[in-house]
Every structure is written in structure tokens, then in C-alpha cells.
Amino acid sequence: MRDFSITKKKGELYNTKVTDSYGKKYQNYFETASEANDWVYYIWSKEDWFANVDNNKLLSRAVDECKEIDKSNNLRKIM
């Protein structure tokens, strides 16, 4: 089920879409075709990890880290 697409419109970044063996879809943007291509292989090499990770837990950790960054930069607290 693996699939990918790398497209670029004039004046825009490379739009990269990847589908892994589990049918999960990813999208990202890159400045060069080489970076886009490398990312496709990165996703495929990590697909077992991505399929077994708790996405809500990862999101929660990311939000907590953003809160800490804001706190250290004396920015308004995220509620």
C-alpha cells in the first residue's frame, strides 16, 4: 500500500505526500527535492514505530514542551 507523491508549483515548496504500509498518510513541505525524497524513505523506515506510537501522548508532550519554552521566554502562559 506504500505510495508517495512529490509535487512543486512555481514559487512554492515541494509538497510531499506519503502513504505507509499501514495506509497511514503523511504530508510535509521541503525546499529541495532531495529533502523531500529523503523524508519519504525516512517515513517508510520508521513506519512500524509510527504505527505503534500513541499520537495523543506525543501531542501532549509537544504541548508541554511548548509551554516550557514560552515560560522560559517569559511569554503568556498557554491555558
Determine the pLDDT at residue 79: 64
Delimit the domains of the chain by residue range: 3-72
Determine the pLDDT at residue 34: 97
How does pLDDT run across 8-66, given as a tens digit for each residue? 999 999 999 999 988 889 999 999 999 999 999 999 998 887 777 788 888 899 999 98
Q: What sign does the dihedral 34-40-43-46 (CA atoms) show?
A: negative
Determine the pLDDT at residue 37: 97
Judged by DSSP in three states, 47 sits in helix
Angle value at C-alpha 49, between 16 and 66, nearest 5 degrees: 75
Rg, the chain, Cα only: 16
5 has a pLDDT exceeding 70: yes
Give Cα separations from 22 to 2, 53, 77 (angstroms). Answer: 8, 13, 38
Determine the pLDDT at residue 71: 87
